[in-house]
Structure 1
């Protein structure tokens, strides 16, 4: 997953306004107390950041992947 894909999923799964606010403001313990945006800026893998955000918000696997592109072949977890 590329960072561009991460932001597309943010928009599709959470909606553009709410999703962008989550990425900037939601501090996650699994990201060492950083926000998803901070983790991406620090060079964390977008796939790992995406899973951390979805896990924290209890987003079911079936609802994590937005468009058909990801539903067919979701990026694997590490």
Structure 2
């Protein structure tokens, strides 16, 4: 996931609340930082996305993010 994909996914999932969540919500899974702090310090956007989803109880089936129709298979 790229930074731009992360931002689209946040906007698609949270709409008007997206900026507030990215800038104000502290995520314990990524070192007790906000998403914007984590992005600035080099944490991979996918890791931040998953932490944000877990913190805000996004259902697992929607955690693959925007911009992709299905999660990438490994």
| TM-score relative to the length of structure 1 | 0.82
Number of paired residues? 73
| Structure 1 segments unaligned to the other structure (5+ residues) | none
In structure 2, the residue matched to 1:34 is 33
Q: Aligned equivalents of 2:22 and 2:72: distance in 1?
A: 19
| Structure 2 segments unaligned to the other structure (5+ residues) | none
Structure 1 runs of 4+ aligned residues shifted over 4 Å read none
Would you tell me which structure has more strand in proportion to its own residues? 2
| TM-score relative to the length of structure 2 | 0.86
In structure 2, the residue matched to 1:11 is 11
Of structures 1 and 2, the one with the larger relative CO (CA 8 A, separation 6+) is: 2
